[in-house]
C-alpha cells in the first residue's frame, strides 16, 4: 500500500502539480522508487563496465540508455553531460540529473572524501525547458563523517530547496565515510545518516544496506520519517538473491523501493531489461518472489 503523497512546503503552489506528477511518475503511484543508477562512469571509472563477467555492450555508455528505454523503470540517474549527449535519442526516459561526482582514485585512508556540485539546478531547469526532456529530479552525494561534510551538507540543502522550487524531486546518496568512520555499514550509523537526509529536506535517501538481516533497516526508515529510504544495489549478485533481498527490505523493514546500477547494466541488454522489469514488479506491484523470477526468466 502506498503512503500518501504530500508536497513539502518548499514547493511553491504553482509547482505542486509538477512535483506531484514527477513523484507519481517515478513511483508509478506506489510511493516506491525504482531508480536505475548510471552515474558510475565517474564514481568507479571504467571498473564497472569491463570484465569477464560484464556484458561487452556495457563498455558503451549508450547501453545504459538502451536499457532504460526498453525496461520498466521509475527514473534513470546519470550525469548531465551524458543526458545531453544521448537523451535526444531516448526522449521518453524519465531522467534524474546527478549533480556531483568524484572518482575513487584517492582512497579514504589518504583523504576524507569531498564531492562538489558540478551543475546548478538552474542549469538543469534550462535543459528541461529548452530540450523538452522528461527531467524529474536531481541527485547529490553526501559523505557524513568526512571532515568536508559541512560543505556537502550546505550544497545539498541549497539544491534540494532549489529543486523543489522548480517542481523537481531531490534524491540524496548518503554514505558515511571518512577516516573517523569505523564501520560505514553499521545499522545505527545508517539510521543517523537517513535522519540527516530528512533534515536536509530530500524526498529520498539512497543508502548502502547495513550489516545484518533486512529488518535492521527499520531504524533507518523510522529515522527518515517522511523522507523515503531506498538501498543501493551493491556489487554483482545472483538475480534471485537480489530479488529476495529487495523483497525482504520492503516487507520486513519498510524500505521504499530500490536504486540499482551495476546489477542491471553489467548484464546483456535483453537480460538487463528483464531484470529491471522483475525489480519494478516488486517495487511497484508488490509482486512475490516466484512471479518476479518468472518475469526475469521471461517465462
Q: Are 221 and 210 in contact (CB under 8 A)?
A: no
Burial of 52 (0-12, 13-18, 19+ CB in 10 A): exposed
255 three-state secondary structure: coil
Catalytic residue among 86, 90, 206, 296: 206
State yes or no: is 102 an active-site residue: no
3-state helix, strand, coil in the chain (%, to 5): 45, 15, 40
**Tally of CA atoms within 13 A in the half-sphere of 248 that contains its CB:** 13
Instruction: Using DSSP bridges, classify how beta strands 95-98 and 33-37 pair: parallel, antiparallel or unpaired.
Output: unpaired
Catalytic residue among 95, 143, 175, 296: 175
207 three-state secondary structure: strand
Among candidate residues 80, 78, 79, the one with its CA nearest the CA of residue 126: 80
Instruction: Give the position of cell 548518503.
Output: 174
State yes or no: is 175 an active-site residue: yes
Q: How far apart are CA 120 and CA 140, in angstroms?
A: 11
Q: How far apart are CA 255 and CA 140, in angstroms?
A: 20
Q: Are 291 and 69 in contact (CB under 8 A)?
A: no
Catalytic residues: 175, 206
Amino acid at each position: 500500500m502506498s503512503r500518501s503523497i504530500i508536497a513539502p512546503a518548499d514547493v511553491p503552489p504553482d509547482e505542486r502539480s509538477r512535483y506531484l506528477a514527477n513523484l507519481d511518475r517515478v513511483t508509478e503511484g506506489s510511493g516506491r522508487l525504482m531508480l536505475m543508477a548510471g552515474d558510475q562512469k565517474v564514481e568507479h571509472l571504467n571498473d564497472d563496465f569491463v570484465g569477464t563477467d560484464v556484458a561487452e555492450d556495457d563498455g558503451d555508455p549508450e547501453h545504459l540508455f538502451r536499457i532504460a528505454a526498453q525496461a520498466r523503470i521509475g527514473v534513470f540517474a546519470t550525469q548531465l553531460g551524458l543526458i545531453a549527449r544521448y537523451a535526444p535519442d531516448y526522449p521518453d526516459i524519465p531522467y534524474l540529473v546527478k549533480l556531483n561526482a568524484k572518482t575513487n582514485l584517492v582512497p579514504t585512508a589518504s583523504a576524507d572524501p569531498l564531492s562538489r556540485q558540478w551543475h546548478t539546478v538552474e542549469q538543469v531547469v534550462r535543459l528541461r525547458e529548452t530540450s523538452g526532456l522528461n527531467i524529474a529530479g536531481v541527485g547529490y552525494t553526501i559523505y557524513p563523517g568526512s571532515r568536508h561534510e559541512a560543505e556537502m551538507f550546505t550544497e545539498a540543502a541549497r539544491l534540494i530547496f532549489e529543486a523543489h522550487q522548480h517542481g523537481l524531486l531531490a534524491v540524496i546518496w548518503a554514505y558515511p565515510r571518512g577516516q573517523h568512520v569505523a564501520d560505514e555499514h553499521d545499522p545505527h550509523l545508517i539510521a543517523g545518516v537517513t535522519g540527516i537526509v530528512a533534515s536536509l529536506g530530500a524526498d529520498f535517501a539512497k543508502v548502502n544496506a547495513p550489516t545484518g538481516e533486512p529488518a535492521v533497516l527499520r531504524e533507518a526508515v523510522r529515522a527518515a520519517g517522511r523522507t523515503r529510504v531506498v538501498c543501493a544495489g551493491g556489487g554483482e549478485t545472483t538475480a534471485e538473491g537480489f530479488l529476495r533481498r529487495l523483497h525482504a527490505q520492503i516487507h520486513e523493514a519498510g524500505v521504499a523501493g530500490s536504486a540499482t546500477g551495476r546489477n542491471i547494466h553489467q548484464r546483456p541488454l535483453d537480460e538487463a531489461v528483464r531484470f529491471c522489469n522483475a525489480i519494478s514488479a516488486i517495487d511497484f506491484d508488490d509482486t512475490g518472489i516466484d512471479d518476479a523470477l518468472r518475469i526475469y526468466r521471461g517465462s
